Amino acid sequence: DAGVIQSPRHEVTEMGQEVTLRCKPISGHNSLFWYRQTMMRGLELLIYFNNNVPIDDSGMPEDRFSAKMPNASFSTLKIQPSEPRDSAVYFCASTTGWRGVSYNEQFFGPGTRLTVL
Amino acid sequence: AQSVTQPDIHITVSEGASLELRCNYSYGATPYLFWYVQSPGQGLQLLLKYFSGDTLVQGIKGFEAEFKRSQSSFNLRKPSVHWSDAAEYFCAVGEGKLTFGTGTRLTIIP
């Protein structure tokens, strides 16, 4: 199994630009989570999906952030417009569960390191 | 609201020495507790988890953790650390929607 795949691994952009992060979960997993990791705030859950439906987006910082999961094998996290304070490592994780409730291991991707200048 | 506290930001131990990383949690019901490890530049990997039953749980890489309800703790231990254990360790609580602690960075001295 290839594990959770994220792309790009590194992204450098200028303030105001649109950024799209992509995630392919492990085949068969029906729950997908987007996290953000910074030195100041640690690891924060942004949003999670169950069976392609967003269950809880209360962690999304503001309207500049949006996430979609058009099918079971693909999800995107978009920031528009980007700001320097969005610089962080963004992780995607997947597991099996129901409406976000899961007692199973979350498998994390390698992350996307975003730098907004 | 659920929360996790890892009081030690950074710990340094000698190779071969024993290790204990502290974790305290706040959770409204029976806690589901996890320890993850993150190597530099990598995603997180599950070391072990506790849901119920035996309060001493064994994980991968020789790690174990003990759940103590009276102390709201779930400390991670290893009897003898190896240089490859140098990493950041995260305690988490939740049922799918996980809340992570701020992490403890472990440095190993040869």
Residues of A in contact with B101 (CB under 8 A): 42
| Closest Cα in chain A, distance from residue B96 (Å) | 4
Angle at B6 between CA B2 and CA B8, to 5 degrees: 165
Higher per-residue confidence, B97 vs A59: A59
Q: CA of B46: which chain A residue's CA is closest?
A: A105
Q: What pLDDT, on the 0 to 100 scale, is given for residue A1? A: 64
Q: What pLDDT, on the 0 to 100 scale, is given for residue B94? A: 86
Residue B30 scores a pLDDT above 60: yes
| Mean pLDDT (whole number) for A72-99 | 93
Q: CA of A37: which chain B residue's CA is closest?
A: B102
Count of A-B CB contacts under 8 Å: 49
Helix (H) or strand (E) holding A66: strand A65-71
State residue A82 phi and psi, 5-degree precision: -80, 155
Cα(B65)–Cα(B74) distance, integer angstroms? 6
State residue A12 phi and psi, 5-degree precision: -120, 125
Cα(B65)–Cα(B83) distance, integer angstroms? 20
Residue A54 scores a pLDDT above 70: yes
CB–CB contact B42 A101 (8 Å): no
B93-109: pLDDT as tens digits: 987 788 999 999 999 99
B48-64: pLDDT as tens digits: 999 888 899 999 999 99
